[in-house]
């Protein structure tokens, strides 16, 4: 049921992106906002569902396999979208995107994060699959299982490694690049998922753990917003 749900989200987002391309080409700002929102919604909704499958046996093989598979699927179906506020900073820094367009895309990413969370909570309330039972009663299921400073350093390091890999992989054939990026993300999740969740995406972090941001805003914004953004700026400064 979970796989069907995530596949349905991917198909629906694909149809919405295609419709936006056909109807809104003459309105570039609205087009950019909607495409980025649809794309980020897909990643956030699917990752919310994947977070419930972390305890499916055999552990952690099932969760890592699904992480790799859906990361490849996102890479193939969401070409042209960053779905990450940190990724949007690069073209803004280099002058390839205007501050207005960059701000519009970041706003779309956080809107999508909220919409995905609301949508998935509605789906979980229907209890269509076994992992959905009791999912809404968890509250802040904190992904931070270490000290705040260590969590900050982990998310900063993972952001630097990920953003550096994305830059270095730009010259790789796209059909191979998507697998390389998916493999890297899976390795990072395996290495640090039990400590911080290995998210390194501010919009995705908010969608997954909004309750934790409400309870401990300063510490969670430091780890899941400032750390990956700082990692991105370090990469931009060095290169």
- Using one digit for the tens of pLDDT, what is the confidence trace for 123-134? 988 887 777 887
Degrees to nearest 5, angle at CA 47 with 46 and 51 = 120
Instruction: State the total domains in the chain.
Output: 1
CA 195 from chain center: how many Å?
17
Q: Considering the chain, what is the average pLDDT of its residues?
A: 90
Least confident of 62-66, 227-231, 232-236: 232-236
What range does the domain containing 98 cover? Answer: 2-238
**CATH number of the domain where residue 13 is located:** 1.20.1080.10
Give the number of other CB atoms < 10 A from CB of residue 211.
15
pTM score of the predicted model: 0.93
Report d(CA 8, CA 14) in Å as an integer. Answer: 10
Which tokens in the block code for residue 82? 């960053």
> Above pLDDT 90, what percent of the chain?
58
Position 25 scores a pLDDT of: 79
């Amino acid at each position: 049921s979970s796989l069907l749900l995530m596949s349905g989200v991917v198909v629906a987002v694909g149809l919405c992106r295609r419709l936006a391309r056909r109807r809104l080409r003459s309105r570039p700002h609205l087009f950019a906002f909607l495409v980025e929102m649809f794309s980020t919604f897909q990643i956030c909704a699917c990752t919310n569902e994947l977070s419930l499958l972390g305890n499916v046996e055999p552990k952690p093989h099932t969760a890592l396999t699904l992480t790799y598979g859906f990361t490849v699927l996102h890479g193939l179906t969401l070409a042209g979208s960053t779905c990450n506020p940190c990724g949007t900073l690069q073209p803004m820094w280099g002058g390839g995107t205007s501050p207005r367009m960059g701000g519009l895309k970041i706003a779309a990413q956080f809107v999508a994060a909220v919409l995905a969370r609301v949508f998935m909570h509605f789906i979980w309330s229907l209890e269509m699959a076994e992992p959905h039972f009791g999912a809404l009663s968890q509250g802040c299921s904190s992904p931070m299982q270490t000290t705040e400073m260590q969590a900050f350093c982990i998310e900063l390091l993972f952001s630097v490694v990920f953003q550096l890999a994305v830059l270095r992989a730009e010259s790789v054939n796209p059909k191979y690049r998507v697998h390389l990026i998916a493999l890297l993300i899976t390795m990072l999740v395996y290495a640090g998922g039990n400590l911080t969740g290995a998210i390194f995406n501010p919009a995705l972090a908010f969608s997954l753990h909004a309750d934790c941001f409400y309870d401990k805003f300063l510490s969670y914004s430091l780890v899941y917003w400032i750390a990956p953004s700082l990692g991105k700026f370090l990469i931009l400064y060095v290169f």
